[in-house]
Structure 1
Amino acid sequence: MPSLHHDVPALRTENLTKRYGRLLALDGLDLSVAAGQVFGFLGPNGAGKSTTIRLLLGLARPTAGRAVVFDVPAQDVAAAHAHLAYVPADVALWPGLTGAEILALLAAVGPGTDLAYRDELVERFALDPSLPGRAYSSGNRQKVALVAAFATRAPLLVLDEPTSGLDPLMEQQFRAVVRAARDRGQTVFLSSHQLAEVEAVCDRVAILRAGRLVEVADVAELRALHRTEVTAIVRGPVPDLRSVAAVEGLQVDVPAGGAAGTSRLRFTLTGAPAAALRALAPTDVVSLRLREPGLEEVFLGYYDSARDGGDQDARVAP
């Protein structure tokens, strides 16, 4: 593995822009991914994620700006690729080579491979390496690429929709090996539209919409930007929550089948719950339920608030 400093970002883009004629596929992307982090790059199909990855890999030339991999310009493909392994969304294999031969070839041309770990991954992903490439289903082609990438010693793994074609059991294995890669100090850049997958494994998330960066935040921070739903059953006097700044949409009613003298309070809470909990503290609280939004709800909230062109891969440049 190349000698790298963990204080250097694994990936960095500065005003990264890509136009195809009058179509603007990526619009001034400024992004920094810390080394040793699992970073989710989130957006629906057509948001510009794959365009970004092509630029990061040096497979396309930016119209403006630049991309850097561990301080190596992405356009210096040979030098940049010495630091990374890549799994595309649609894996193509050499049809006449067996899975074992393909894995051996990829290990020979890559930045080094942990052969014992590769054998372990073959077992974990239930891959039959004796079959020729032409015999593999799309899911098994994906497994070959995942085994090769996760067994590598490359400090950066770039994964573009890596679990397409995998069944739920294999998705669980994928999540486990992502966490193991992070524990070994590798950086994982995960481009996906599968929100549960991103929420399960990522430390930090960027949301892309129509080629523009919408938000970059820790997963927990991203949820905190949005309201939490609170339901409380109280006995006796109903506390006055309307004066609590973080509380919105307060509703008070009598729960069906509830005990005499009980009331149900429902409201949404923005930010930290401390003020609302202090207001509830003097009350006889029978039950309290807080429901935080999942990443999917947060994500859909961004798109609901800006539906103009959010599902397009590119837009007409001015």
Structure 2
Amino acid sequence: MDAPPAVRARGISKYFAEVVALDGVDLDVAPGQIHGLVGPNGAGKTTLLGLLLGLAVADKGTLEILGTPVGRALAVPEGVAGFVDGPGLYPSMTARQNLAALATLRGDTLGIDEAIDEVGLTDVADDRVRGFSLGMRQRLGLAAALLTKPRLLVLDEPSNGLDPSGKKHVYGVLKRLAANGTAVMLSSHRMDDVEALCSEVTILATGRVAFSGPLSKLASENRELDYRVLTSDPMTARRLAREIRGIRVVDELGGAAEGQPDDENAGHLLIVSGQVAGMDEFVKRLVQEDIAVRELAPVVSPLEAAFLALTEQQESNG
């Protein structure tokens, strides 16, 4: 028998006085899936995560978590863990004491050292939390969630404050959880987090779903993007770009794109705009001309470009 969806929401709406925080939201999250939740500030992300953690209840619609219908009470089924707006911790207590206090509330003190080690905080387990950086607090919050061995993990900006090493560590934890069947629902303002971790994404704008589905569908090959192109022969590359149908030269001078920092290669860069098919033809022509392609990358990632287009469209329609 197939496992029930970790999350199944239909027509979820939530109001705060005259403010519509969520407006008819549908959401599906499968077991073992890392599902991203993105959107502008005020889009309703924190409200939706709060519903999944039992911190609030929907005013309309139906919500099932781990196969159990969630009613109008502030509660969720066993097996759900996570945090929104940062983890709640006792600053005067050590990391180990914080986890022990939480474990005692649940009647079980097993697994504390395992959770601390899992998030890479063993060396500071007996340090007081008041001295922890933001990233260390995020990792301790993740450790607290792991104590319950969750089947649904809900995280709000889990990489907030993490250095590259800490981010890599947290990524590994979340991927291992998903591989073992845990559903992970995470919100992030960072598109690189979503692209690195998530197989599916839901984009919220003004409380409504602007998109929900696989990343591969969102970053469609039919979407035109700006690309940075660095070659061994920028003059010929510029000429070829102007000759190819479906390719448009954005920066004739080969400087940095708007909003991008200048670099030592700026004078040799070409910024072109086009769809994937056009860029494939461009690269093919460069190779035929024996021109080395030293860099070819989107100025803005396909996910971020789609995110901006969808949220702007949703907000203008709203």
Q: Give the TM-score normalised by the residue count of structure 1.
A: 0.74
Give the distance between the partners of 2:162 and 2:244, measured in 1 at CA: 48
What per-residue deviation string (whole Å, max 9, x for no partner) do you get for residues 29-72 of structure 1? Answer: 01101110111101233211011111222221212112211111
> How far has the Cα of 1:285 moved from its partner?
5.6
8 Å CA contact retained: 2:116, 2:125: no
> How far has the Cα of 1:202 moved from its partner?
1.4
Aligned mate of 1:118, from 80, 96, 115: 115
Unaligned residue ranges in structure 2 (runs of 5+): 255-268
Task: Rate the CA distance shift 1:167–1:266 in 2: closer, same or farther, 3 A.
Answer: closer
Give the aligned residue type for 2:114: Y
Give the distance between the partners of 1:12 and 1:297, measured in 2 at CA: 28
Give the distance between the partners of 1:106 and 1:144, measured in 2 at CA: 12
Give the distance between the partners of 1:254 and 1:161, measured in 2 at CA: 39
What per-residue deviation string (whole Å, max 9, x for no partner) do you get for residues 53-96 of structure 1? Answer: 11222221212112211111234878734121112322222355
Give the distance between the partners of 1:16 and 1:90, measured in 2 at CA: 24
How many residue pairs end up in the alignment?
A: 293
8 Å CA contact retained: 2:244, 2:278: no
Give the distance between the partners of 1:127 and 1:205, measured in 2 at CA: 35
> 2:266 maps to which residue?
none
> How far has the Cα of 1:200 moved from its partner?
1.6
> How far has the Cα of 1:148 moved from its partner?
1.9
Give the distance between the partners of 1:155 and 1:165, measured in 2 at CA: 26
> 2:307 maps to which residue?
299
Task: Rate the CA distance shift 1:186–1:109 in 2: closer, same or farther, 3 A.
Answer: farther
Q: Larger % of helix: which?
A: 2
Aligned mate of 2:80, from 81, 84, 95: 84
> 2:30 maps to which residue?
34
Q: Which is bigger in relative contact order (C-alpha 8 A, separation at least 6)?
A: 1
Identity %: 30
- Give the superposed CA RMSD: 3.9
Give the aligned residue type for 2:208: R
Unaligned residue ranges in structure 1 (runs of 5+): 256-263, 310-314
Give the distance between the partners of 1:164 and 1:60, measured in 2 at CA: 24
> How far has the Cα of 1:127 moved from its partner?
5.8
SS in 1 for 2:41: coil
